[in-house]
Amino acid sequence: MATALIDQNTIRRRGTGLRAYNPDKVFKGYTLFTPLTGNGEVYLLNLEGEVVHQWDLPYSPGLYGYLLPNGNLFYNGKTLDIPPHFPLWAAFKGGVVLEADPKGNIIWEYKHPSHHHDGRRLRNGNTILLAIEKIPQSLIPQIKGGVAGTEADGDIYADVLYEVTSAGEIVWTWHAHEHLDPEIFTITPQDQRHEWTHGNTVGELADGNIIVSFRNISTVVIVDRNTGEIIWTLGDDVLAQQHFPNELANGNILIFDNGAHRRHTALNFSRVIEVNRQTKEIVWEYADNPPQNFFSSYISGAQRLPNGNTLITEGAYGRIFEVTVTGEIVWEYVNPHFAARNLPGEKSPVARGEQNSVFRAFRYAPEKVPWL
């Protein structure tokens, strides 16, 4: 009797594709996701887990895409023709942002060698980018934390924001090192010192101000668009290497709190929290039971849906699921596309083996996809 081969990839062996679906409680629509190990494929799924549309873009993800109000795709892509700033740079670098129509035609594109993680279209039609730059040498001795001796050939990078017009002109710039106090914002002990801040999200709030997530210092900030001053922070007394803070209709902030290197507990677990912007109180939270059943140490995100449910991306494992306000899972899908990460020179453990990671996913109501 022949012995069946056992899939040695743990995540794939547990099952992929549609894993759960309660049609009475889900938010009706389509789910957009980009496999992080892909070559530029972006998929739109129906609730049955079937691909109803696909983009094939000329750049691998750097690191995701989302739909604009006009129905086009805004995509952060990765260029590989630029020397790395430091060995881990390839894991999250971008290099290009673009807008593509439903047929995949690129109708706008902008390249910047230091762009990474995120770029978003602003309401004024411009685009805001996350990028990095070297901080002044005089500031380096003041930067605390991190693994000693892991600077990038003596340099430390921090984030810089660029607002770019449709013509490619930079019209607004914000330098993180000019506004963050190194006495307060300390690199987590396990992270390398080639970066101080490691931004992973930039977004525009309803009042026009800018929200930014800094993973290496476990801090979310809101930047006054007019003055450049930081007017709101939520730090490592609450957060642990968080991703994707985004504003809800009620003004609160929804955050995927990854949970790596928490200050107050040794247990690694992720949660999604809704934070009152005025009081900084956590007014809603999703965590699994037991909590360690839900954990992604990096990437990931959460989106509040119009029916009150929340779509969550447990990014490291390619798991996208929807929960009700009471935490009941009503839809779950696991990315079936596995591949090795093509990261030349990459030394991080996250680059080893075939994986199905997803940086961020979104659900769209049918009227948001009128061309489908």
Sign, CA dihedral 92-94-97-101, equals: negative
Assigned domain for 12 exists: no
**Distance between CA 120 and CA 122 in Å, rounded?**
6
Assigned domain for 61 exists: yes
Assigned domain for 7 exists: no
Mean pLDDT of 340-351: 67
User: Is the per-residue pLDDT at 345 higher than 80?
Assistant: no
Mean pLDDT of 311-318: 98
User: Is the per-residue pLDDT at 344 higher than 70?
Assistant: no
Assigned domain for 327 exists: yes
Tens of pLDDT, residue by residue over 172-202, are 999 999 999 999 999 999 999 999 999 999 9
- Identify the domain containing residue 237 by its residue range: 19-368
User: Is the per-residue pLDDT at 133 higher than 90?
Assistant: yes
Say how many C-beta atoms besides its own lie within 10 A of residue 1's C-beta.
Answer: 3
Contacts of 240 (CB under 8 A, 6+ apart): 218, 257, 258, 259, 260, 261, 262, 263
Q: Number of folded domains in the chain?
A: 1
Assigned domain for 189 exists: yes
Mean pLDDT of 151-160: 97
Assigned domain for 235 exists: yes
User: Is the per-residue pLDDT at 350 higher than 90?
Assistant: no
Mean pLDDT of 208-224: 98
Model pLDDT, residue 56: 98
Confidence label for 261 from pLDDT (cuts 50, 70 and 90) = confident
Tell me the two tokens of residue 176.
């993180």
Task: Judge contact between 261 and 188, C-beta under 8 A.
Answer: yes
| Share above pLDDT 70 across residues of the chain, in percent, rounded to a whole number | 97
HEC letters along 121-160: ECCCCCEEEEEEEECCHHHHHHCCEEECCCCECCECEEEE
Confidence label for 88 from pLDDT (cuts 50, 70 and 90) = confident
Q: In this structure, what CATH number is given to the domain that contains residue 189? A: 2.130.10.10
Report, in angstroms and rounded to the nearest whole number, the Rg of the chain calculated over CA atoms: 20
| Share above pLDDT 90 across residues of the chain, in percent, rounded to a whole number | 91
Model pLDDT, residue 148: 96
User: Is the per-residue pLDDT at 343 higher than 70?
Assistant: no
User: Is the per-residue pLDDT at 342 higher than 90?
Assistant: no
Q: Nearest CA to 27 among 346, 309, 349?
A: 309
Complete edge-to-edge strand list for the sheet that includes strand 301-304: 17-21, 329-334, 319-323, 310-314, 301-304
Contacts of 246 (CB under 8 A, 6+ apart): 201, 203, 211, 253, 254, 255, 301, 302, 303
- Indicate the average pLDDT of the chain: 96
User: Is the per-residue pLDDT at 321 higher than 60?
Assistant: yes
Assigned domain for 213 exists: yes
